[in-house]
Every structure is written in structure tokens, then in C-alpha cells.
Structure 1
């Protein structure tokens, strides 16, 4: 039976709308909801008494708060939200029994984000050169984006292909899901490969300046040398490789001067082993 939660605060409304984000598992980090427990967690953070196994000058994970300065002014609940992201600070009890505060981030829209690896008829991987504000630098990536309200991961993947590279998928292959940062971000992102017949012009308004088809051996070398550093892109390439969608044409001796682990790994050569949409 689903718990009835009075929707009196943004935190309460988030709990009611997305209960899967607030479940407690045996042996895990429990979220505290009783007001007395929440206050105890806040007082612990205020006094700096929280012991989570973190270094005294740092944290065990990106969202763990353990200093008096942080706890003294730290509200519990939804502490920031816009149409893209929501930042939540939970009162928690750690497996060792200590209460404390823990920050996490999630997409404001519940629909899963999507990452899509475009593949041409010649077996090339289509990459975009995308400027990212967070790192203040250009990155080689594949199309990706947050979910649209009410859309499935597959629908989001098709939309990102059209928006970023002006391409239509002739076949969309599911490659499962990933969690981009399980220590801080609550989101689940779905991975896809897409067969495309061609692509259009870059979406310069989103900070994309080039769309480039690259043969698989060259893409593998870009990953090995760090020229491709986007975690989403590396993840979808890895899933595609292990599902037999990539790897043809890789030199038998591997990539020179890269030491690419896995260049000689056996892969499933039966293409299209994932779910198709």
C-alpha cells in the first residue's frame, strides 16, 4: 500500500510524486522522516559530531555533510529547484548508527535522460564537438540530453538525434541504463545505439560546432588517449562494443602506444542483441 504523504512542502510533494527516490533498504543509509529524528540529524551536523567514516577535512562522498559550518545553516528538504535540476538535502542515519545530512541532485523531470550512439551504414561513429559550460571546455561526445516530461528513454533518444545532428534513426537499439554519479546524482540515464543514414548541420545554438563521422579504430584510440573524456560517451561506446555493435576493423595487435584494455576482448558479434524500438 502506497504511503499517504501530506503535500505541504516541496519535499513532501517530491516524496509523493517520486516515492522510489525515498525508499530505505536493509543495511543502507536510511532517510529520516520523523521530525524528532530530522532535528537530531541537524543538531549532529551543527556540532560537527557526525561520523561517517569521512576524512576529518573532507567527505566520504560528494553529498555527505560533516562539518559544523555546513550543518549550522543547512535546511533539510528541497534546497534548490529549477526546470532542469533539483537539489535535495536529506536527514539520514548511516549504517553505523550516526545521524547526519546528505545532499543529492536529481533531474526535475522524472523522465529518464538518454544517450545515443549514432552509427552510419559504413560503421562509423558520429561524434559532436560540444562546448560544456561546467568544464569551460570543448568535448567530443555523442548526442545526449535530459528527459522531456512524459517521454520514454527511446523517445528522448530520437529527439536528441534530431535536435543535435538532424538525424532520424532507422533502427534504435537499447543498451540498458547507467547512473552517472551514484554518490551524488539520483538519475537513471538510458543508453542507445542508433543506425542512421545521414545527418544534418550542427545545432550551434546548443554549443555544437562540428559533427564528425569517425571510423571505430579512431574512436577507440580517442577513448584510450583521453581525447574522449565524456563519461556518458565512454559508457555508451563500451556497452555497444560489448554487445557486438563495434570493433570491426580494429587492428589485431590493438592500438599503437595506447595500451587500450579490451582491444582484444571477445565480444558478442551478433548485432542487435539489445531491445529494439
Structure 2
């Protein structure tokens, strides 16, 4: 990125203008344009870029809004593993919440890989499993309040589970009936948005047994 937060922001506006579009019509939050816009790149690493956008609210008030964009243009993926119709969940420790979560494998976009290839890679890395079939389940915006890019959802048929990625704070895998996974989502045993949405989409796609 450029040497100052303001220069980095200006570079992004010039090279990726689609990130700064405002849809036509009334009622949207607009991003201020011009040399006095005071936009900044607050943080940047290989995974995430945090922007502070100068904005105008629908009532005319000016302010700033934070949002995160991925540093790679490729979409992240989340993949629901299925063995004979049963759901495979991983127990993953998450730093942000400082606790363990039952969820499905997922990861950020990888340069040079398609969304399907990235989903297959995440399965192999986190679950030690190989997909025999990948089914597209659409996209998900996991947090529209701050995350700019959607994530591609998949279901994957697999034959077996291998070694989980303990180095990524995954301590075990668990195979449950599809209905039990839905019950876990309904009772707060699963709170991960990717997993809950993938279960919902997979049932609508006829993959539940």
C-alpha cells in the first residue's frame, strides 16, 4: 500500500472504483468525493483492509464509516461437508469471540483459485477431506454492517474425514444427522452465520436427509 493512510485510500479509489459506487436513487449513504474527502486506510495486511470512508447520510449529515474489504479480490468460501447426507462439523476456537464454535470449514479467497477450487482447498486443509462433488449454494454477506464482500457457499459430498487442522485451533470433527445440525442451530449450539445459512440453503436444495 502507499506510504500514508490517505495516499493508500486515494490509490484504492483510483484502482478499484467499484468499491466506492453509490447506487442511483434516494436514501443511500454516499461517499464524499474530492481532495478534501479525508478517507483513510486504517489497516492493511495480507487478509484484510480496513477503510474509513467519509460519508453523507440521507439526512445530509456528514460523518465517517468503517468497513473491511478483503485484500485479495477472490471471494472467500465456506463449505458444508456431507457424508451420506450427514453433516460434518468442526469445533474451531475463534480469537474474536475467545471461545469454541461448531462450524463448517471456511477461508479467505486464494489468488489464482476459482471459488470451487478454494472450497475444495479449505476442506482438505481444515478437515483432511476430499470433495467428490461440490454443490453451489449461492453467496452470503456475513455482516453487512462492516464487511464489504460476500462469501461463496458450497456443500461438498465427501467419503471420509481425515486429520483436522489442529494448528488452526480446530480440535475435533463431529458427524451428525442433518436434522440434529439444524436443531443445534436452533438452540444456539451453532451460532456461526456461515454454518446456519449453509444448512438452510442445503435443505432448500434438497441435500438434507
Matched, 1:86 2:84: no
Higher RCO by CA contacts (8 Å cutoff, separation 6 or greater): 2
Work out which of the residue numbers 138, 144, 169 in structure 2 matches 1:182.
144
TM-score by length of structure 2 reads 0.92
Point out the more displaced range, 235-244 or 15-24: 15-24
Partner of 1:95: 58
Q: Distance in 1 between matches of 2:205 and 2:148?
A: 26
**Count of equivalent residues:** 202
The alpha carbon displacement at 1:18 in A equals 2.7
Partner of 2:196: 234
Once the 2 structures are TM-superposed, how far is the Cα of residue 150 of structure 1 from its aligned partner?
3.1
Q: Distance in 2 between matches of 1:79 and 1:227?
A: 35
1:120-159 CA distances to partner (integer Å, 9 max, x unpaired)?
1x21101100011111111000100111123222121011
Q: Distance in 2 between matches of 1:195 and 1:156?
A: 15
Give TM-score, length-normalised by structure 1.
0.70
Structure 1 residue 207: Cα displacement: 0.3
Matches of 1:206 and 1:153 in 2, distance apart? Answer: 21
Bigger strand share: 2
Within the candidate set 1, 21, 24, 1:23 is matched to 21
Considering only CA atoms, is the larger Rg found in Structure 1 or Structure 2? 1
- Counterpart CA distance in 2 for 1:236 and 1:15 is 33
Deviates more, 1:8-17 or 1:140-149: 8-17
Gap regions ≥5 residues in structure 1: 1-7, 40-75, 249-277
Matched, 1:148 2:146: no
Secondary structure of 1:35's counterpart equals coil
